Structure 1
Amino acid sequence: MNTKLITIIATAAFALSAYSADAQTTPAKSPKVAEVTLSQTRDVYTSSVEVLPHFPGGVEGFTNFLKQNINNKKAEAPGRVNITFVVEKDGSLSDVHAIGRNTESKAAEEAIRVIKLSPKWEPGKQNGQPVRVQYTVPVVFK
């Protein structure tokens, strides 16, 4: 078996530390600025929402997607890369980039490339309406 298999660390169906079950907050904004410059299409939820976005097929589907699309030869060494992105109201992904350590590594480049190939996700929902949600997933190369 290939020792450089990609694995995904998934905790509680992607409920990462940025999403706490007890705090339901809306995007931070100044009331004066919101009236003039922000529209609802630009708001991004960065804490919890009623329904988190999810990959079609759940954690298992996402893991299989990564295994099928990651080119392990492009990762120079084993390690973990944290990828953050916004799941848009239509399920597409935007603003995909690495955060934390290893942001300039070959593994980060490969993880970003593959996340950008992702099919549309089921969007997050707040009050029954699709909303933009910032999402972070750790990708581990072994």
Structure 2
Amino acid sequence: MIKSFYLLFIVLIPMISSAQIQGENEVYLKGDRIEAKFNGGGIEKFQEFVKGNFNYSKVKKPGKMVAAFTIDVDGSVKKIKLVEYIDAGSAAEMIRVLNLCPKWEPAKRNGKAISIEIKYPMVFKRT
């Protein structure tokens, strides 16, 4: 009885440990990861899109806003949430802009598309 419990313990612990290696703090044990691309470029192309579509009159005071969203395996923007925001108006505007976002080229690992989460900060200063 104790031997079978010990064997079960030895088999289950590695399974439980490997099941927890995922999400935001994912550890890549095999293969190279290629970052997601926006309109053929990196995050700077995405910044151009946001700046071109964001209505800055919605921001009433200086501060920082951080949006988090997932680039799905098909390149679509999903699971939009604001981790930090200034006020409801600026938050709603950021969500509106992210919903306008065209599809990205998804990130890849070992040549296979994977979903990733991006955290995108914006700082607003008084001019």
Partner Cα distance (2:68, 2:111) in 1: 24
TM superposition shift of 1:140: 2.1
Q: Which amino acid aligns with 1:125?
A: K
Normalization by structure 1: what TM-score? 0.61
Q: Is 1:102 the counterpart of 2:80 in the alignment?
A: no
Partner Cα distance (2:70, 2:43) in 1: 18
TM superposition shift of 1:104: 5.0
Normalization by structure 2: what TM-score? 0.68
The two structures, once aligned, show a CA RMSD in angstroms of 2.2
CA gap of 1:84–1:103, structure 2 versus 1, over 3 A, is farther
Query: Match for residue 29 of structure 1?
Result: 19
Q: Which moved more, 1:87-96 or 1:119-128?
A: 119-128
Alignment of 1:74-85 (within 5 A): 74-85=58-69
Q: Is 1:65 the counterpart of 2:43 in the alignment?
A: no
Q: Which amino acid aligns with 2:120?
A: V
Q: Is 1:137 the counterpart of 2:115 in the alignment?
A: no
Which of structures 1 and 2 has the bigger CA Rg? 2
Q: Percent identity?
A: 34
Long gaps (5+) in structure 2: 1-17
TM superposition shift of 1:86: 0.8
DSSP-derived class of the 1:62 partner = helix
Whether contact under 8 Å (1:45, 1:132) holds in the other structure is no
Partner Cα distance (2:105, 2:86) in 1: 27
Query: Match for residue 34 of structure 2?
Result: 51
Q: Which has the higher contact order (CA 8 A, sep 6+)?
A: 1
Partner Cα distance (1:102, 1:110) in 2: 11
